[in-house]
Amino acid sequence: MTISASALLTYSIIFVFGLVVGSFINVVIYRVPRGESVVTERSHCVSCGKILSAAELIPVISYIILRGRCRQCKSSISPLYPAVEILVGLLFLSIFFKYSFSFEFLCYSIFFALLIGAGIIDVQWMIIPNRLIFYSLVIATLAFSYNIIRPMAIYGGNQSPFLPLMGLLPGAVFFFLIYVVSFFIFKKENSIGMGDIKLLIPIGIILGFDRCLFAVFISIISGGVIGLALIILGIKKRRDSISFGPFLVIGSYIALLLS
């Protein structure tokens, strides 16, 4: 199958747009857990504090040109930065292939870019910041409002405009009940993090009941398999906590693409 020049140009633009958003997600990943502003402060080297020029902020390309090192202090730049940019670029492309240029494309692309940021922060800090949950909830609310005016396919088309709220049941409500039972019966507060429960609120609204249920299923299975593998490899012990946020992101993304 051949791809026309116009289609290739469109895909390239979408991918570059995703790279730029991914660059912003890198800022979110670094600054939000530290309580820093993601808007007012200029980008700088985390080692020497040098303010980065525009040429040093080009997604992926700057990392390659600088060979993964700061031009000023020569300290190493984490390969996570270009990896996140490429990941978000591919995210935008995959959602564009499914929804073309539409409200759904913009909504889901930005939403899941935020989820990627939340998942990585969860791995690094074992927290899901309320700020990211709030941003995700804003996108979910926009989708909910848009569905009232123009029914979206993911919710089944012309049905009750309040149907997306049913997506709260298999995720946020279910895990909150587990949290409460664990606290009162087993006297444990860390069976599942409240950050995961709160993140499932916007996820549930975005996906609706069926797809959120599927996302939760995939998250539990993938989390269990990876957790068991980490224990077998000696990386984790049986009582060690494992970040569940990344598995929620993976499960939700798969549920969206298969919807």
Residue ranges per domain, the chain?
1-99, 102-259
Q: Report the pLDDT averaged over residues 189-195.
A: 70
Report how far apart, in Å, the C-alpha atoms of 34 and of each of 41, 79, 95, 124 are.
13, 20, 31, 12
The whole-angstrom separation of Cα 128 and Cα 131 is 9
- What's the pTM? 0.92
The whole-angstrom separation of Cα 254 and Cα 259 is 8
Q: pLDDT band at 188, cuts 50/70/90?
A: low
Q: Is 101 exposed, middle or buried (0-12, 13-18, 19+ CB in 10 A)?
A: exposed
Q: pLDDT band at 189, cuts 50/70/90?
A: low
Map residue 194 onto helix, strand or coil. Answer: helix
Task: Fill in the amino acid letter for 215.
Answer: A
| All residues at 6 or more sequence positions from 220 whose CB lies less than 8 Å from its CB, including other chains | 247
Q: pLDDT band at 171, cuts 50/70/90?
A: confident
Angle at 53 between CA 33 and CA 124, to 5 degrees: 20
Render pLDDT for 47-77 as a digit per residue (tens, 0 to 9).
Answer: 888 888 888 889 999 999 998 998 888 899 9
Render pLDDT for 89-136 as a digit per residue (tens, 0 to 9).
Answer: 999 999 999 999 999 999 999 999 999 999 999 999 999 999 999 999
The whole-angstrom separation of Cα 131 and Cα 230 is 30
Rg (CA), the chain: 20
Residue showing tokens 């700020």? 131
Backbone angles phi, psi at 120, to 5 degrees: -70, -40
